[in-house]
Amino acid sequence: MSILIKSGVKLLRNIEGYNFMPKLNEVDALDIVNLLEGKILQLGYERFDVLRMSQLEKLKYIEREILSTSFLNNNISAYYKKKDYTDILVNDTDHLVISKSSRKKDLESLYKMCFEVEDALSKEVSFAFDSELGYLTTRPINAGTGLIISHKLHLPALSFYGIDSISKSLLRLGYNLNAYRDSKGKILGAMYSLFFETTIGYSEDSYIKKMNTIVKEIISMENEAQKKLYLDSIITLEDMVNRSLGVLRNARVLSEEEMMNCMSNIDLGIKLSILKANRDFDFYDEMMKLRNGYLQYERGSILDLKSRNILRANKSRALMKEVF
Protein backbone atom coordinates (compact mmCIF):
# COMPACT_ATOMS: atom_id res chain seq x y z
CA MET A 1 0.00 0.00 0.00
CA SER A 2 2.98 2.24 -0.56
CA ILE A 3 2.73 5.37 -2.71
CA LEU A 4 6.43 5.22 -3.58
CA ILE A 5 6.71 1.82 -5.21
CA LYS A 6 10.39 1.78 -6.10
CA SER A 7 13.36 4.00 -6.83
CA GLY A 8 16.09 3.66 -9.42
CA VAL A 9 19.52 5.12 -10.11
CA LYS A 10 21.54 5.05 -13.32
CA LEU A 11 25.08 6.29 -13.90
CA LEU A 12 25.93 7.02 -17.53
CA ARG A 13 29.52 7.06 -18.74
CA ASN A 14 31.26 7.07 -22.12
CA ILE A 15 34.79 6.01 -22.95
CA GLU A 16 37.07 8.81 -24.07
CA GLY A 17 38.19 8.62 -27.71
CA TYR A 18 35.17 6.71 -29.09
CA ASN A 19 32.05 7.92 -30.90
CA PHE A 20 28.95 8.03 -28.72
CA MET A 21 25.88 5.90 -29.36
CA PRO A 22 24.29 5.49 -31.90
CA LYS A 23 27.23 6.52 -34.14
CA LEU A 24 29.48 3.88 -32.63
CA ASN A 25 30.57 1.34 -35.24
CA GLU A 26 30.67 -2.39 -34.55
CA VAL A 27 34.48 -2.64 -34.36
CA ASP A 28 34.75 0.15 -31.78
CA ALA A 29 31.77 -1.23 -29.87
CA LEU A 30 33.48 -4.58 -29.48
CA ASP A 31 36.67 -2.76 -28.43
CA ILE A 32 34.71 -1.11 -25.62
CA VAL A 33 33.31 -4.46 -24.48
CA ASN A 34 36.80 -5.96 -24.43
CA LEU A 35 38.17 -2.89 -22.65
CA LEU A 36 35.64 -3.12 -19.83
CA GLU A 37 34.83 -6.80 -19.51
CA GLY A 38 37.93 -8.01 -17.71
CA LYS A 39 37.57 -5.49 -14.92
CA ILE A 40 33.80 -6.05 -14.67
CA LEU A 41 34.32 -9.79 -14.26
CA GLN A 42 37.00 -9.13 -11.61
CA LEU A 43 34.34 -7.27 -9.63
CA GLY A 44 32.37 -10.51 -9.35
CA TYR A 45 29.96 -10.02 -12.23
CA GLU A 46 28.73 -12.64 -14.68
CA ARG A 47 28.08 -11.91 -18.34
CA PHE A 48 24.71 -12.94 -19.79
CA ASP A 49 24.49 -13.62 -23.50
CA VAL A 50 21.39 -11.63 -24.45
CA LEU A 51 21.38 -12.90 -28.03
CA ARG A 52 20.90 -16.47 -26.77
CA MET A 53 18.07 -15.59 -24.40
CA SER A 54 14.74 -17.21 -25.20
CA GLN A 55 11.79 -15.01 -26.06
CA LEU A 56 10.33 -15.81 -22.65
CA GLU A 57 13.49 -14.64 -20.86
CA LYS A 58 13.47 -11.45 -22.91
CA LEU A 59 9.86 -10.78 -21.96
CA LYS A 60 10.81 -11.04 -18.29
CA TYR A 61 13.63 -8.50 -18.56
CA ILE A 62 11.58 -6.08 -20.66
CA GLU A 63 8.59 -6.21 -18.30
CA ARG A 64 10.82 -5.58 -15.29
CA GLU A 65 12.25 -2.58 -17.16
CA ILE A 66 15.81 -3.90 -16.83
CA LEU A 67 16.57 -4.27 -20.55
CA SER A 68 15.03 -2.69 -23.64
CA THR A 69 14.02 -4.46 -26.82
CA SER A 70 16.69 -2.60 -28.81
CA PHE A 71 19.39 -3.66 -26.33
CA LEU A 72 18.29 -7.30 -26.42
CA ASN A 73 18.47 -7.36 -30.21
CA ASN A 74 21.82 -5.59 -30.44
CA ASN A 75 24.84 -7.78 -31.21
CA ILE A 76 27.32 -5.15 -29.97
CA SER A 77 25.90 -4.95 -26.44
CA ALA A 78 26.84 -6.81 -23.27
CA TYR A 79 24.93 -7.36 -20.03
CA TYR A 80 26.50 -8.17 -16.65
CA LYS A 81 24.77 -9.18 -13.42
CA LYS A 82 25.82 -9.62 -9.82
CA LYS A 83 23.37 -10.93 -7.25
CA ASP A 84 21.90 -8.22 -5.03
CA TYR A 85 24.04 -5.58 -6.68
CA THR A 86 23.95 -3.28 -9.68
CA ASP A 87 23.34 -4.22 -13.30
CA ILE A 88 25.94 -3.19 -15.88
CA LEU A 89 25.04 -2.58 -19.51
CA VAL A 90 27.73 -1.93 -22.11
CA ASN A 91 26.74 -0.18 -25.36
CA ASP A 92 23.18 0.63 -24.39
CA THR A 93 22.12 4.31 -24.49
CA ASP A 94 25.74 5.10 -23.55
CA HIS A 95 28.94 3.06 -23.55
CA LEU A 96 28.46 2.20 -19.89
CA VAL A 97 25.21 2.18 -17.89
CA ILE A 98 25.41 1.17 -14.23
CA SER A 99 21.95 0.82 -12.71
CA LYS A 100 20.13 -0.35 -9.62
CA SER A 101 16.48 -0.16 -8.63
CA SER A 102 14.93 -1.20 -5.36
CA ARG A 103 11.67 -1.13 -3.43
CA LYS A 104 13.47 -0.88 -0.09
CA LYS A 105 16.76 0.99 -0.47
CA ASP A 106 16.94 4.79 -0.43
CA LEU A 107 18.53 6.89 -3.16
CA GLU A 108 21.73 7.43 -1.19
CA SER A 109 22.30 3.67 -0.89
CA LEU A 110 21.48 3.03 -4.54
CA TYR A 111 23.81 5.79 -5.70
CA LYS A 112 26.61 4.49 -3.47
CA MET A 113 26.32 1.03 -5.04
CA CYS A 114 26.49 2.47 -8.57
CA PHE A 115 29.35 4.83 -7.72
CA GLU A 116 31.46 2.02 -6.23
CA VAL A 117 31.34 0.19 -9.57
CA GLU A 118 32.00 3.37 -11.56
CA ASP A 119 34.92 4.28 -9.30
CA ALA A 120 36.51 0.86 -9.75
CA LEU A 121 36.17 1.02 -13.54
CA SER A 122 37.45 4.62 -13.71
CA LYS A 123 40.83 3.39 -12.49
CA GLU A 124 41.11 1.28 -15.65
CA VAL A 125 39.60 3.51 -18.36
CA SER A 126 39.19 7.25 -19.01
CA PHE A 127 35.63 8.54 -19.18
CA ALA A 128 34.64 11.41 -21.47
CA PHE A 129 34.68 14.52 -19.29
CA ASP A 130 34.56 18.26 -19.86
CA SER A 131 35.77 20.74 -17.23
CA GLU A 132 32.65 22.91 -17.72
CA LEU A 133 29.97 20.38 -18.69
CA GLY A 134 31.03 17.46 -16.52
CA TYR A 135 30.60 13.88 -17.75
CA LEU A 136 29.58 13.79 -21.41
CA THR A 137 26.64 11.63 -22.42
CA THR A 138 24.86 10.63 -25.61
CA ARG A 139 21.96 12.94 -24.76
CA PRO A 140 23.33 16.35 -23.78
CA ILE A 141 20.51 16.79 -21.25
CA ASN A 142 22.03 13.95 -19.19
CA ALA A 143 25.52 15.50 -19.11
CA GLY A 144 26.98 16.83 -15.87
CA THR A 145 26.78 14.14 -13.23
CA GLY A 146 25.53 11.59 -15.75
CA LEU A 147 23.18 10.54 -12.96
CA ILE A 148 19.56 9.66 -13.69
CA ILE A 149 17.19 9.13 -10.79
CA SER A 150 13.67 7.79 -11.26
CA HIS A 151 10.80 6.94 -8.95
CA LYS A 152 7.76 4.80 -9.65
CA LEU A 153 4.68 6.12 -7.86
CA HIS A 154 1.13 4.90 -7.30
CA LEU A 155 -1.15 7.94 -7.26
CA PRO A 156 -4.79 6.76 -7.46
CA ALA A 157 -6.41 9.72 -5.70
CA LEU A 158 -4.47 12.39 -7.57
CA SER A 159 -5.24 10.51 -10.77
CA PHE A 160 -8.94 10.45 -9.86
CA TYR A 161 -9.06 14.24 -9.44
CA GLY A 162 -6.91 14.91 -12.51
CA ILE A 163 -3.18 15.24 -12.34
CA ASP A 164 -2.45 17.42 -15.38
CA SER A 165 -2.03 20.64 -13.41
CA ILE A 166 0.41 18.96 -11.03
CA SER A 167 2.38 17.50 -13.95
CA LYS A 168 2.61 20.92 -15.60
CA SER A 169 3.77 22.55 -12.36
CA LEU A 170 6.45 19.89 -11.92
CA LEU A 171 7.54 20.29 -15.54
CA ARG A 172 8.15 24.00 -14.96
CA LEU A 173 10.51 22.99 -12.16
CA GLY A 174 12.30 20.54 -14.45
CA TYR A 175 10.60 17.34 -13.29
CA ASN A 176 8.78 14.89 -15.54
CA LEU A 177 5.80 13.01 -14.09
CA ASN A 178 4.78 10.53 -16.77
CA ALA A 179 1.84 8.16 -16.58
CA TYR A 180 1.99 4.54 -17.68
CA ARG A 181 -0.49 4.39 -20.56
CA ASP A 182 -2.10 1.82 -22.83
CA SER A 183 -2.08 1.97 -26.64
CA LYS A 184 -5.04 4.40 -26.55
CA GLY A 185 -3.31 6.77 -24.14
CA LYS A 186 -5.37 5.76 -21.10
CA ILE A 187 -3.55 5.79 -17.74
CA LEU A 188 -2.82 2.30 -16.41
CA GLY A 189 -3.14 1.47 -12.73
CA ALA A 190 -2.60 5.11 -11.64
CA MET A 191 1.12 4.40 -12.09
CA TYR A 192 3.57 7.23 -12.75
CA SER A 193 7.30 7.64 -13.22
CA LEU A 194 9.06 10.73 -11.89
CA PHE A 195 12.49 11.85 -13.05
CA PHE A 196 14.58 14.97 -13.38
CA GLU A 197 16.88 14.74 -16.37
CA THR A 198 18.96 17.91 -16.40
CA THR A 199 21.96 17.28 -14.16
CA ILE A 200 24.32 20.01 -15.41
CA GLY A 201 25.03 22.43 -12.58
CA TYR A 202 24.11 20.04 -9.77
CA SER A 203 26.29 17.89 -7.57
CA GLU A 204 25.17 14.32 -6.99
CA ASP A 205 24.26 15.10 -3.37
CA SER A 206 22.14 18.14 -4.24
CA TYR A 207 20.43 16.24 -7.06
CA ILE A 208 19.49 13.41 -4.68
CA LYS A 209 18.26 15.90 -2.04
CA LYS A 210 16.06 17.66 -4.62
CA MET A 211 14.49 14.37 -5.68
CA ASN A 212 13.89 13.28 -2.08
CA THR A 213 12.19 16.61 -1.33
CA ILE A 214 9.86 16.56 -4.34
CA VAL A 215 8.89 12.92 -3.75
CA LYS A 216 7.93 13.69 -0.15
CA GLU A 217 5.75 16.54 -1.40
CA ILE A 218 4.00 14.33 -3.97
CA ILE A 219 3.39 11.62 -1.34
CA SER A 220 1.90 14.24 0.97
CA MET A 221 -0.36 15.49 -1.84
CA GLU A 222 -1.54 11.95 -2.59
CA ASN A 223 -2.32 11.27 1.07
CA GLU A 224 -4.35 14.48 1.28
CA ALA A 225 -6.16 13.62 -1.96
CA GLN A 226 -7.04 10.19 -0.55
CA LYS A 227 -8.55 11.77 2.57
CA LYS A 228 -10.54 14.20 0.43
CA LEU A 229 -11.77 11.39 -1.82
CA TYR A 230 -12.93 9.40 1.21
CA LEU A 231 -14.70 12.34 2.87
CA ASP A 232 -16.25 13.96 -0.20
CA SER A 233 -17.01 11.02 -2.50
CA ILE A 234 -17.35 7.93 -0.33
CA ILE A 235 -20.19 6.40 -2.38
CA THR A 236 -18.29 6.87 -5.64
CA LEU A 237 -15.17 5.45 -4.02
CA GLU A 238 -16.94 2.41 -2.57
CA ASP A 239 -18.58 1.75 -5.91
CA MET A 240 -15.26 1.98 -7.75
CA VAL A 241 -13.49 -0.31 -5.29
CA ASN A 242 -16.23 -2.94 -5.08
CA ARG A 243 -16.75 -3.03 -8.85
CA SER A 244 -13.04 -3.71 -9.22
CA LEU A 245 -13.20 -6.45 -6.62
CA GLY A 246 -16.16 -7.96 -8.46
CA VAL A 247 -14.24 -8.02 -11.73
CA LEU A 248 -11.16 -9.62 -10.22
CA ARG A 249 -13.29 -12.16 -8.31
CA ASN A 250 -15.51 -13.21 -11.19
CA ALA A 251 -13.97 -12.44 -14.58
CA ARG A 252 -13.42 -15.34 -16.97
CA VAL A 253 -11.50 -13.19 -19.45
CA LEU A 254 -9.34 -10.37 -18.07
CA SER A 255 -7.12 -8.02 -20.05
CA GLU A 256 -3.83 -6.75 -18.66
CA GLU A 257 -5.10 -3.15 -18.75
CA GLU A 258 -8.30 -3.91 -16.82
CA MET A 259 -6.40 -5.99 -14.29
CA MET A 260 -3.94 -3.15 -13.57
CA ASN A 261 -6.72 -0.62 -13.06
CA CYS A 262 -8.73 -2.93 -10.83
CA MET A 263 -5.69 -3.86 -8.73
CA SER A 264 -4.98 -0.17 -8.24
CA ASN A 265 -8.52 0.39 -6.95
CA ILE A 266 -8.29 -2.65 -4.68
CA ASP A 267 -5.10 -1.29 -3.11
CA LEU A 268 -6.77 2.08 -2.49
CA GLY A 269 -9.79 0.31 -0.99
CA ILE A 270 -7.61 -1.59 1.47
CA LYS A 271 -5.69 1.53 2.47
CA LEU A 272 -8.91 3.47 3.15
CA SER A 273 -10.49 0.53 5.06
CA ILE A 274 -13.24 -0.04 2.49
CA LEU A 275 -11.91 -3.58 2.08
CA LYS A 276 -10.29 -5.81 4.69
CA ALA A 277 -7.65 -8.24 3.48
CA ASN A 278 -6.97 -11.54 5.22
CA ARG A 279 -3.24 -11.19 4.58
CA ASP A 280 -0.72 -8.59 3.47
CA PHE A 281 -1.50 -7.49 -0.06
CA ASP A 282 1.39 -6.09 -2.09
CA PHE A 283 -0.44 -4.41 -4.95
CA TYR A 284 2.60 -3.96 -7.17
CA ASP A 285 4.02 -7.43 -6.65
CA GLU A 286 0.67 -9.15 -7.26
CA MET A 287 0.00 -6.98 -10.29
CA MET A 288 3.37 -7.84 -11.84
CA LYS A 289 2.60 -11.55 -11.44
CA LEU A 290 -0.52 -11.07 -13.57
CA ARG A 291 1.17 -9.16 -16.38
CA ASN A 292 1.69 -10.73 -19.80
CA GLY A 293 5.41 -11.38 -19.57
CA TYR A 294 5.32 -13.02 -16.14
CA LEU A 295 2.32 -15.20 -17.02
CA GLN A 296 4.05 -16.55 -20.10
CA TYR A 297 7.42 -16.99 -18.41
CA GLU A 298 5.81 -18.89 -15.53
CA ARG A 299 3.80 -21.01 -17.97
CA GLY A 300 6.89 -21.73 -20.07
CA SER A 301 5.35 -20.87 -23.43
CA ILE A 302 4.32 -17.95 -25.59
CA LEU A 303 0.53 -17.51 -25.35
CA ASP A 304 -1.87 -15.75 -27.67
CA LEU A 305 -3.93 -12.83 -26.36
CA LYS A 306 -7.06 -14.88 -25.59
CA SER A 307 -5.10 -17.52 -23.70
CA ARG A 308 -3.29 -14.87 -21.66
CA ASN A 309 -6.56 -13.19 -20.72
CA ILE A 310 -8.16 -16.46 -19.66
CA LEU A 311 -5.12 -17.51 -17.63
CA ARG A 312 -4.96 -14.07 -15.99
CA ALA A 313 -8.64 -14.29 -15.01
CA ASN A 314 -8.13 -17.74 -13.49
CA LYS A 315 -5.21 -16.53 -11.40
CA SER A 316 -7.04 -13.35 -10.43
CA ARG A 317 -10.03 -15.29 -9.08
CA ALA A 318 -7.74 -17.56 -7.06
CA LEU A 319 -5.83 -14.55 -5.68
CA MET A 320 -9.00 -12.71 -4.61
CA LYS A 321 -10.29 -15.83 -2.88
CA GLU A 322 -7.03 -16.09 -0.96
CA VAL A 323 -6.75 -12.37 -0.03
CA PHE A 324 -10.40 -11.68 0.82
Instruction: Considering only residues 187 and 247, tell me which one the structure prediction assigns the higher pLDDT.
Output: 247
293 closest CA partner among 54, 63, 29: 63
Phi, psi (5° rounding) for residue 174? 100, 5
Instruction: Answer yes or no: are the C-beta atoms of 23 and 95 closer than 8 Å.
Output: no
Please give the CATH architecture assigned to the domain spanning 4-224.
2-Layer Sandwich (3.30)
Instruction: Answer yes or no: are the C-beta atoms of 33 and 91 closer than 8 Å.
Output: yes
In the chain, where the domains are located: 4-224, 234-323
Q: What was the pLDDT predicted at 53?
A: 87
Instruction: Answer yes or no: are the C-beta atoms of 212 and 107 closer than 8 Å.
Output: yes
Question: What are 173-191's pLDDT values in tens digits?
Answer: 888 999 988 777 888 999 9
Instruction: Considering only residues 133 and 268, tell me which one the structure prediction assigns the higher pLDDT.
Output: 268
Beta bridge partners of 145: none
Residue 197 pLDDT exceeds 80: no
Cα–Cα dist 98/84, whole Å: 14
Neighbours of 176 (CB within 10 A): 14
Residue 87 pLDDT exceeds 70: yes
Least confident of 145-154, 189-198, 276-285: 189-198
Contacts of residue 43, defined as CB under 8 A and 6 or more positions apart, other chains included, come to 82, 117, 120
Instruction: Considering only residues 49 and 238, tell me which one the structure prediction assigns the higher pLDDT.
Output: 238
Contacts of residue 287, defined as CB under 8 A and 6 or more positions apart, other chains included, come to 189, 259, 260, 263, 264
Buried-state track 277-289, b at ≥16 Cβ within 10 A, e below 16:
eeeebebbebbee
On the CB side of 211, CA atoms within 13 Å amount to 30
Element (H, E) at 248: helix 234-250
DSSP state of 43: T
Question: What are 20-59's pLDDT values in tens digits?
Answer: 998 999 999 999 999 999 999 999 999 998 888 888 999 8
What percent of the chain lies above the pLDDT cut of 70?
98
What percent of the chain lies above the pLDDT cut of 90?
80
Q: What was the pLDDT predicted at 105?
A: 93
